Structure formats: structure tokens, C-alpha cells
Structure 1
Amino acid sequence: MHNVSLNDLARLIDQAIDSGNKAAIQKSIEVLDEVLECELNALGIAQINYYKANCFAAIRNIKGTDKLWDWDDLEMEKEIYFLRIAKNSISDIPFEQDGTDLRFRILTNLANALNHIGRFAEAIALWDEVLGVLPNYSMSIGNRGLALYRYGACLYDSGHRSLFFNESYHQIKRSLEIGLEEHAVEGMRCWMNHLLEIYDWERFHFKPQVESRGRSKQEKFYRTWCLNNRLFLNPLNDLWKEDVAANDILTFPSVMVKLTDFPHGTPPEFYGIYNQLKQEYVSARFVLFDAIDDSKKRLHFSDKKVKLYDMLDYRVYRLWVEKLKMAFLGAHAIFDKIAYLVNSYWELGLNVRRINYKTCWFSEGRADLGLAMPFKSSKNWALRGLYWVSKEFIGEKEKNSPLQPEAWHISEIRNHIAHKYLKVYDHYLVDAKQLRVHKGHDWEYPISDRELISQTLNLLKLVRNALIYLSLAAHNEEQRKREEVDKGLIGEFQLVEVEDKYRI
């Protein structure tokens, strides 16, 4: 088997997948595991893990459409996990040295998988990564178009919904014009015709207005940085990097409650909790921006006249490094706070002293008892996405995450910032990854400044997307509630926006 080329192996696996024979596909996975034990370069590792992901996708497809709304899917977990390993491996290879389209197939398949489970914001970012290099990659264009339609359908703002539908129509149309694989053509045409039944999008014209990104040079730089990294709590930031998206407009949606529960006219606390989550998020976001900005400057005055000993190992002792740690901890803490809102809004009845994001989805907060009743038969796409975000993290008794190959690493960063000792090194001078391999890290954990910035930025993006899924999941629930009651019995409680000049 070791003498078989990777291309020959790929053909054998394709034959097994095309046959629809589950036993043959399982055998292919065993062969791939054997190959992974051999010495492979980064491209080989990426290829083998990509093939493994395809095998698990094939097994999942054998299950059929009756499993479409399963909230837990072992094959999907493995598909995402191995695609991420493949992505991480091939990202170490310069694009010019790759010579294949493998990285684009990996990114497209990973986007498709994330979109399927309701993590559409992350999927769109991956498709855009492909299209930024290959603007005519038709499968990414078409799948992105379909996702934009479903994303738009989740929105509570009708203006935003129209913009998403318009972009969806033109993306699907473009993918058909470029050319798709034969099996995808009919489905794409059906979706395009469905969109034309809603409106004639050929007549729809929208040009984003040029707006101010702030008064000071720093504010403009900050808002541009947020736009480029898709960090605004605004669905339009998943469409564009235009001025119109440079604000945190998303809120908790309009909810239906009994007037008797709020006799004095006070708004439901859902809004207060979501306000706090937003404020903590935007604050952590700015602290990260400020840390990155400070890293390019001279020594801060607060770091001066502080007596420290030179440990001769190129560790970095600076205010901006501590800001990075604060941003990481602040972002990470938001997830458990999301769990409180989930518990309150979906009336799970969990003990507030024991709520956490990893377990709030289960009866009595226990994974062994299965999903809680509000989630068991739910077809709420955004809510399922919010649940699948919880699979990114390691639970108390777990050693790894079903989705995230770097989950243990992220957990160690958090634990060492909060409870132990995170040693941050200058990335130009020290290979922190090698230090982690060769040295123990029970009470200390080495990391480079560049890596800490990257991990904190990724964490903030995950928080941002989770807050979007949370808002849209609640909106979906409210739509369902309204369909079940007499519309004549529904009144509206008018909430007042706090203007910037009145914030105290």
C-alpha cells in the first residue's frame, strides 16, 4: 500500500464513494489512517485528511435526507474536523508552491459543511477566501449564493433581507453563467427562479452610500480594521466592507411576552442581557485593536521604570501583551454568558450556578440525558448553528473537541492567562511551537506574540458570529410563536434606543 501514489489512492477512494458502499468507504478510511502513519510532507497530510473528510461526507449522504435536521451528526463532526486539519496543513505551503486547487476544494467543502449546520457567517467568510484568489470558482459562487438566501430569510430587518436576496440572485446567476458541475445545475436554476418569484432582482438597484467612519484618524482606522476582519455585529458586514456595515446595528429581536409579566412597562431582561453581551464584545474588540496598534509603537510610559530581570529567553513584557490577554479572556467569557440568555429565553430551567455554554443545551445540563426539549425537534437553522459553536470547546471531562483540532491549545491559553502563567515570546526570535513540544507546560505555557494575536482575533470572530446566530435564532422562534396565536391579541412594546450623547 505504501507504494501506491496519492493520486492512485484518490481514485480508489472515489470509486468507493461513487459505489455508495458504506463498507468500502469504511475500508478506505482504514487505509488512509495507515498512510497517515507514514512520513508525509504538509501537502500529503492535507491530501489524506481531505480524502478522509470526503469519506465521512459520503457516509453522511448515505443516511439520506431524513437525517437533514439531526442536531448531532458524528460523520459531520469528523468531516469538519479533518477538513480543518487539511486546511491548517496546506496553509503552511505558499500558494505559489502548491500547484493544485486542493486548498480551494478544502475551503469550499468546509464552508459547505459549516453552512449546513447553521454556521452561515463562517461559511461565507471561507467562500470569500476562495473567491479572493479565484473569483470565477463557480461552486463557491453558487453555494455562497444559496447561503445568502437562507441567511437573508433569517433576518428581522426587511431592508437587509432584500439586500441579501439580491446578492443571492446575482451570485447564483453568475455561477450558472460560468458553469457548474452537471449535478448542480438544475438545483441552482430552481433557486434562481424561486428568487425571481419574490422580486425581479434585475430591476433592483442599491448603491451603498459613502458615510463617515469617524472623526479622528484612529477611529477611522479602527472601523476599517473591524470591517476588514468582519467584526461588526451587523449582517451586512458579511456581504460587504462598505461604510453602511460599519456599525453594530444587530440587537435582540422583537419578542412576544404576556403583559401581566411586565406590569410596570419595563422591557424584558433579554434585551438587557444582550446589551451587556454586545458591550463586552465591542470592548474586547477594541482592546485587541488597541493592543495590535500599540505593538507597533515605542515602549508605553506605564512600562517604564518597572524593574524586571532579563531571563535571556526573549519573553515580551509590555502593556500591549497584557491587553491581548485581557481581550482573549473577555471574549472567551462571553460564551458562558450567552448560555444564561439561552437558558432564560428558551425557558430551560437550569440552575443558574451551573450554567455553561458547553452543556446548557442538554436536559438538566447533562449531555448523557440528551438535548433539552426545546431543541430536540427544532428546525431553527441559526439556533442549530449556535449549538454547533459549543462543539468548538473542550468540556470538563473531555480531552479534545469534535470539531476543532486546536481546541486543547485554545483551552490552555485561557487557563494559563486566568490561572497560571502564559509566557509570550517575540516571534522573530523564538519558535514558541517548538518550545511547547520540547518543554513541559503544567504551570507555564509558551506562545508567540503573533500567535496570541491570531488566536484572539479568531476567538472574537467566533463570538461575533455566535451573537448573530443568537439574535436570529430568537427571531425565528418569535416568527413561529406569532403563527400560533391570534394576531389581534399581539401588541407592541416600543423600546427606546440610547443615543451616544446620552450614554452615561
Structure 2
Amino acid sequence: MNEKLKEIQNDYLNFSNLSQNSSLSEDIIFEKIAELDDKYKNNDIHFRSFEGLLSNIGFDQASIKVLNCVIKRLKSKKERLPQNKYFYDIGNTILNKSVLIYKTKPNIATLISTRSFLEAKKYFYNVIEDDTDYYERAQTNITNILEKYGRNYEALYAYDDVIKKNPLFGMALGNKAIALEYYIRLSPKPSLVLLNNAYELLINALKDKKINDIGGKLAINIFIHKKEEIEQLFKKIKYKYSELKKPENLTKYQHFILENNLYLNYDFGFYYDKNSLKDTFFPNFIENLKDKKTIKSRSMSEKIYYSFHIFNQLLEDFTTARYNYFHAINIKCNHIDKKINYIYTLDYTKHSLKYGLLKSVFSSLYNCFDKIAHLMKYYFCYLENDINNTNIYFDWLTSENFKKIIIENKNFQLLALHNLALDFKENHTYNYINKLRNRITHSFLNINVGEAYNEKYKTFEITEDRLIKYNKKLFIIVKAAIMYSVLGIYYSNFKERDKLFKTIAISENEIF
């Protein structure tokens, strides 16, 4: 190893150990920064690496001043640093600063008003896959931010994306375990199988020696504590894991839904019993005895009657899209396609019943967002809303009115919906989904089946694999949004609970 590199690593390690083991004044920290800058002023390794160390030291010492200095230094180096290094370090520093400012868990009003966590997330999204672990670190931090905003279901899938790329990445394994344990607590039917899954993740996470470098002693202690907590519970109830087996008589369609976790229930794709093969999400509406009764059904108020109908339409849209998705993936339709005179445009694009189904699935799924917004507005703003004369779109969940509802109810599930809706705006994470849906609904989207696909045509052209991938992603997001809606209604606080009662509903399949 190069002697100069050894010397830098030794100086960095001493500085890091000093920070972790003692309280340093800001004057001492800045003196040390000046000393190392002078010592290695013409060294490229120091130029590229120092801010990453300083960000961790600023966090260890709870110094906003040091972190502001790091942000300033990084911005001055933006054009000269490797892109991944720049985006990760500045995102991580902004995140560290945000965590320090809101030392305790930020309240909902703070999370709605602050932009710092979202700013950090934007930088992390610019980190691309390469031969370093910056991508895994960035994606794990993105997922941690999703968790802060109540977006637990999406976070679990985001951790999986990191783990698929690097199965040994301890921070993602450990954080997924924590997120899974929280998911279990949210679910109406707690699962020991999922808890055992979380336990196994923690065991594997603690094998990663890099955790201390990335998450520090705090992360290690959190993972150890959670692992011991689960061990104590298993010992207390004498739990022993046994592998779950699916019934042999499952249809191909049921296998498909389970494997892709597309049932609207909390079993996460596992088979426990016959209810694992059902869509059991249910909005626990509460109605006021004084609410106006509907003419069509005197047993419930107009508000609850229409709320149930919106939810039923939501279920119908999702399950129909799911059914069509299954058939689109498995369909053999050349004999049908050959009887349709599609015009060949000499560009390797192709049309077929399969592609039409995939596009229809995408568009139908996206429409669920508007119905979720409609349900939220009608249920929470009943007196202000005429269901038959009001058009509501998903963007309403970013409105000032919905923000007030979130704060009044102190509800993290409603916050999750708000934050999710923000991600569909211009220059945000899911805006590409919005644009893709608009192409399908209002114009055209070509499927390129040749080797001529070029990213410069991505506004109106896509490959089959990518369309399937985006459909999978949209199913996750829509299911998450439905779950946040159902749980948001369930956990809502009402000021006059004694004047309200829980509605009783009968399933249609018990009648028809």
C-alpha cells in the first residue's frame, strides 16, 4: 500500500476515534481540519475523501456549524468530485444535520413543513450503481427517510432492492428488520413468521463488519437490542419456526398473486390460512349519529354509504388490474394479433393484445390514486364536499386542506399519503410514472422489440421488460397507498368519539 495513503488513513482513523470517544470543542475540530488540509493540500485522496469523514464527525459531535462547513466545502468541489461521491456526501451531511436539528422524533407538523429530509432524499436519488457501495448507502438512507414519513410498506421493498444488489449489506438488512417489526405492529393480525424473518435479518446484519463505519455504534446497539428483544419474546412463548407450506391445490393465478404479494391483506405474500388468499383490507369508518341518512340505504349515513362505494370501486379497479396483469404476463396472442392491421412504422415498435393489456393495467392502477384522494376528502371533509359534483385528483393530497387534516388527526398514515403524493410532482421520484400514464391515456406509448431502442426516445417509447417492471412498481405503490388510507382511517382521532360509532359492514359475497 502507498505510504502516503497509509498515513492519511491513520490520521483519519485517529481523528474519527478522537471524535467518537470524547467531546471536542468546535475550535479544536476546525484546528484539526486546518491542520490536515495543510498537511495534504495537494493530495487527491484527501481532496475526495475528507468531507465524508467530517460529516460523520460533525454528527458525532452534534455540531451544526461543522456540518454547515462540510456542505459549503462540498458545494465548492461539486465539479471536481466524482458524481456519486458528491451526491452521497452532501445528501448524507444534510440528513445528519436534519437529524440533529430534530433530535427527538420530528412531529407531524414539522415533517410537513421542513424540506431538509426531502432535499437529502433528492441528492441520494442521484447516486447510481457503480463498483463502490455508495448506491447501497444512498438507497438505505432514502428508505430511512421514507420511514420517517410513515411510508413503511414502500420502505420494505426499497430495502429489498438494496439487499438484492448486495445481500451482505448490513445496514439494509438491519434496517429492514426494524421496519418489518414496525409493519407487524401496524397490522391487525401480528405475524410470528414475519417476526422470525426480522430476527434472521438482524443476525445476518450483525455479521457485516462495515456497520460501524457506516452507521456507527448507535446502529450496532439498536440491532443488538432488537435482536435480544425478539429472542426474549420467542423464549417466553416457546416459539419455534416451522416452514409454511402452500396448499397443493392452489391455482396458477393464486400462486401468481401470492408470489407477487398482490392480495390486499397484511400477510405479505405468505400463506397462513385461507384468509391469505383473500383481499381483506377494510376501512373502519366511524359515523356520527347526527349525520344525514342516505335515501338509498337507511341503515347508514350518506357519508358512510358513499365512502363504502368509493372504496368498493377502488377494490374493483385494483383487483381487475391484477387479473388483467396476470393474463398479460401469460397470454399467447399471436393468432389474435395477426388479424389486426397494425401499421408498421419501420422503427422496431410493435403492438399486440399483450401490450394493450399491460398499458391498460398501468392506466387503471394509476386511476386508483384519484379514488384514494376522493375517499380521503369525502370522509374527512364530508360537510364541504358534494360527491356527485366534485372532481378530486391525487394532487389534492398535497393541498393545504389535507395538511390540516393530517395535523389535526396527528396521523402518520395520512402523512404517508401526503408525502407519497408529493413524489409524483415534477422533478420528484415518481414523476416518471405520472408521465408514462399520461402518454398511455392521452396519446401513445410504443413498445420497442428490436435492438434499436434508444433512451432519447423514452418520452414515447419503452421496452416490454421495462413496462412490466414499471407495472410491478406501480402495484407496490398503489397497494401502499390503499394500505395507508385504510390505516389512516383506522388510526384517526376524533374529538367527539362518544357521539360516534363504528359502522358494521357485510361482504357482498355473503349476499350474492
TM-score range, shorter chain: 0.7 to 0.9
Partner of 2:467: 452
TM-score for the superposition, normalised by structure 1? 0.77
Sort the Cα spacing of 1:167 and 1:312 in 2 relative to 1 into closer, same or farther, 3 A. Answer: closer
Partner of 2:440: 417
Partner of 1:40: none
Partner of 1:324: 358
In the alignment, structure 1 residue 51 sits paired with structure 2 residue 83? no
In the alignment, structure 1 residue 85 sits paired with structure 2 residue 126? yes
Which SS does the other structure have where 2:93 is aligned?
helix
- How far did residue 325 of structure 1 move? 1.4
Sort the Cα spacing of 1:132 and 1:357 in 2 relative to 1 into closer, same or farther, 3 A. Answer: same
Which SS does the other structure have where 2:508 is aligned?
coil
Conserved 8 A contact 1:228-1:241: no
Sort the Cα spacing of 1:9 and 1:225 in 2 relative to 1 into closer, same or farther, 3 A. Answer: farther
In the alignment, structure 1 residue 360 sits paired with structure 2 residue 397? yes
Conserved 8 A contact 1:209-1:244: no
Partner of 2:19: none
Give the alignment partner of residue 254 of structure 2, picking from 223, 230, 234.
223
Conserved 8 A contact 1:16-1:24: no
Deviation string, structure 1 residues 366-393 (Cα, Å, up to 9, x no partner): xxxxx54221255422222121110121
Number of aligned positions between the proteins:
449
Which SS does the other structure have where 2:395 is aligned?
coil
TM-score for the superposition, normalised by structure 2? 0.76
Conserved 8 A contact 2:51-2:74: no
Deviation string, structure 1 residues 437-458 (Cα, Å, up to 9, x no partner): xxxx6xxx22222222222221
Partner of 2:79: 34
Inter-partner Cα distance in structure 1 for 2:151 and 2:42: 40
Deviation string, structure 1 residues 225-269 (Cα, Å, up to 9, x no partner): 33333333222216x477878534332243332345458324833
In the alignment, structure 1 residue 14 sits paired with structure 2 residue 49? no
Conserved 8 A contact 1:13-1:28: no
Sort the Cα spacing of 1:351 and 1:32 in 2 relative to 1 into closer, same or farther, 3 A. Answer: farther
Inter-partner Cα distance in structure 1 for 2:201 and 2:446: 46
In the alignment, structure 1 residue 265 sits paired with structure 2 residue 295? no
Sort the Cα spacing of 1:188 and 1:288 in 2 relative to 1 into closer, same or farther, 3 A. Answer: same
- How far did residue 135 of structure 1 move? 4.8
Give the alignment partner of residue 329 of structure 2, picking from 282, 292, 298.
292
Inter-partner Cα distance in structure 2 for 1:499 and 1:7: 68
Give the alignment partner of residue 143 of structure 1, picking from 175, 191, 200.
175
Partner of 2:22: none
Inter-partner Cα distance in structure 2 for 1:32 and 1:457: 39
Which SS does the other structure have where 1:257 is aligned?
strand
Sort the Cα spacing of 1:11 and 1:255 in 2 relative to 1 into closer, same or farther, 3 A. Answer: same
- How far did residue 354 of structure 1 move? 4.1
In the alignment, structure 1 residue 110 sits paired with structure 2 residue 132? no
Sort the Cα spacing of 1:22 and 1:106 in 2 relative to 1 into closer, same or farther, 3 A. Answer: closer
Deviation string, structure 1 residues 318-339 (Cα, Å, up to 9, x no partner): 1111111111110111101100
Partner of 2:27: none
Sort the Cα spacing of 1:81 and 1:3 in 2 relative to 1 into closer, same or farther, 3 A. Answer: farther
Which SS does the other structure have where 1:126 is aligned?
helix
Partner of 2:111: 71
- How far did residue 469 of structure 1 move? 1.3
Inter-partner Cα distance in structure 2 for 1:231 and 1:136: 27
Which SS does the other structure have where 2:277 is aligned?
coil
Conserved 8 A contact 1:119-1:385: yes
Sort the Cα spacing of 1:252 and 1:378 in 2 relative to 1 into closer, same or farther, 3 A. Answer: same
Conserved 8 A contact 2:289-2:501: no
Range that drifts further, 458-467 or 56-65: 56-65
Sort the Cα spacing of 1:144 and 1:331 in 2 relative to 1 into closer, same or farther, 3 A. Answer: same
Which SS does the other structure have where 2:49 is aligned?
helix
Deviation string, structure 1 residues 192-226 (Cα, Å, up to 9, x no partner): 676688785662346465343765xxx42x33333
Inter-partner Cα distance in structure 2 for 1:460 and 1:173: 31
Give the alignment partner of residue 475 of structure 1, picking from 484, 490, 493.
490
Deviation string, structure 1 residues 139-173 (Cα, Å, up to 9, x no partner): 33332222223222222x2x335555565566556
Conserved 8 A contact 1:393-1:411: yes
Conserved 8 A contact 2:206-2:223: yes
Which SS does the other structure have where 1:252 is aligned?
coil
Which SS does the other structure have where 1:237 is aligned?
coil
Inter-partner Cα distance in structure 2 for 1:51 and 1:241: 42
Which SS does the other structure have where 1:106 is aligned?
helix
Aligned letter for 1:56?
I
- How far did residue 347 of structure 1 move? 2.2
Conserved 8 A contact 1:285-1:327: yes
- How far did residue 124 of structure 1 move? 1.3
Deviation string, structure 1 residues 408-460 (Cα, Å, up to 9, x no partner): x333322222222222211x422241334xxxx6xxx2222222222222122
In the alignment, structure 1 residue 434 sits paired with structure 2 residue 491? no
Which SS does the other structure have where 2:313 is aligned?
helix
Give the alignment partner of residue 334 of structure 1, picking from 345, 359, 368.
368
Conserved 8 A contact 1:107-1:130: yes
Inter-partner Cα distance in structure 2 for 1:3 and 1:470: 56
Which SS does the other structure have where 2:264 is aligned?
coil
Deviation string, structure 1 residues 20-78 (Cα, Å, up to 9, x no partner): 32421321441353247xxxxxxx54333222321221221231235712233312112
Give the alignment partner of residue 414 of structure 2, picking from 363, 383, 388.
383
Sort the Cα spacing of 1:185 and 1:377 in 2 relative to 1 into closer, same or farther, 3 A. Answer: farther
Partner of 1:466: 481
Which SS does the other structure have where 1:424 is aligned?
strand
Structure of greater Rg: 2
Conserved 8 A contact 1:208-1:242: no
Inter-partner Cα distance in structure 1 for 2:197 and 2:248: 24
Inter-partner Cα distance in structure 2 for 1:198 and 1:242: 21
Identity level (%): 21
Sort the Cα spacing of 1:330 and 1:112 in 2 relative to 1 into closer, same or farther, 3 A. Answer: same
Aligned letter for 2:153?
A
How do residues 105-184 of structure 1 correspond to structure 2 at under 5 angstroms? Answer: 105-132=137-164, 134-155=166-187, 157=188, 159-160=189-190, 164=194, 167-168=197-198, 171-172=201-202, 175=205, 181=212, 182-184=217-219
Structure of greater relative contact order (alpha carbons < 8 Å, 6+ residues apart): 1
